[in-house]
Amino acid sequence: MSVHQSAIRWQHAPHETDADTYSRNHRATLNGGQQVDVSASVDFKGDESCADPEQMLVSAVSSCHMLFFLAIAEFQGYRVESYEDDPVGHLESRDTKGMEITRIELSPRVTFGGDKLPDRKAISRIHANAHKNCFIRNSITAEVTINPQ
């Protein structure tokens, strides 16, 4: 078991463009001391120059999948040279629960090097195992699909 922490800090300030409301901008400080400027999504009066919680969730799923993919590929003797993804999350209304991220689509592009190169079937198996083992994906109800490029 491991414990993961962050610190969230917000202070009242006027909204930059809407005098009738407050700024959604705040800061997240992570375990390593990294600071991330966060706000609500632009759709909800947030600051477009900041990350929003939905983007961070989608990024966390993509990052977790990638880390498992890299570990599995290495364990199987493959050398990954590069891994890129442009994940997309869909915020939608579902039944009476309100708004939620209902779907996350991953589109990884992986380049291999070295003497042992996987075929498409091996790559699909690695993605399937990464999908099955990703801690973040296992923690959410959104459907996650992988569409390798």
Same domain, 116 and 90: yes
Q: What is the CATH number of the domain that holds 115?
A: 3.30.300.20
Strand partners, 104: 89, 144
Domain that holds residue 57: 53-146
Tens digit of pLDDT for each residue in 22-54? 999 999 999 888 999 999 999 999 999 999 999
What is the pTM for the complete model shown? Answer: 0.93
Same domain, 64 and 94: yes
The answer to the question of residue 1 being in a domain is no
Same domain, 76 and 136: yes
Same domain, 73 and 129: yes
With CA atoms as reference, report the closest residue to 85 among 107, 63, 70, 66: 107
The pLDDT value given to residue 103: 97
d(CA 48, CA 137) in angstroms, rounded, equals: 26
Same domain, 27 and 99: no
Give yes or no for a contact between 125 and 100, defined as CB atoms under 8 angstroms apart: no
Same domain, 70 and 111: yes
